[in-house]
Amino acid sequence: MSKHVLIIEDSGSFRMVVKVALERAGYEIIEAASADEACTLLDGRTIHVIVCDVNMPGMNGLDFVRHLRTTNYKFTPVVMLTTDSQIERKAEAADMGVRVWITKPFQPTYLIEAISKLCPL
């Protein structure tokens, strides 16, 4: 059975880099350019891991996770991607159950390792 990863990232080029790396690792990818778009894509889909940017226009990544925790996906593991290294935001994310916080830039292999621990193929 394939493992599905939802990538929420407003930068199209960065989203593509993450998508290609995860597809090569064997994951099936669902993409969203915003948290609002991701909310509509979640309806009825099987999602095993969510990779979400923190700083996005509109609903940011932390607001998305806050919303996510009120849905049927409340136990879905979340990996946050950010250029922001503020300890307070990282602590807030951890309090909401975010399992991994990755600061950009990073090597795709680091993300693949983190996801494979949360959701082995």
pTM as predicted: 0.95
First-to-final CA distance of the chain: 8
Rg over alpha carbons for the chain, rounded to the nearest Å, is 13
Domains delineated in the chain = 4-118 (3.40.50.2300)
Name the token pair of 18: 């993450």
Q: What is residue 108's predicted lDDT score, i.e. its pLDDT?
A: 93
Mean of all residue pLDDT scores within the chain: 94
- Strands (DSSP E) along 19-95, which ranges? 28-32, 49-53, 78-82
**pLDDT per position as a tens digit, 8-62:** 999 999 999 999 999 999 999 999 999 999 999 998 899 999 999 999 999 999 9
Coil, strand or helix at 57: coil
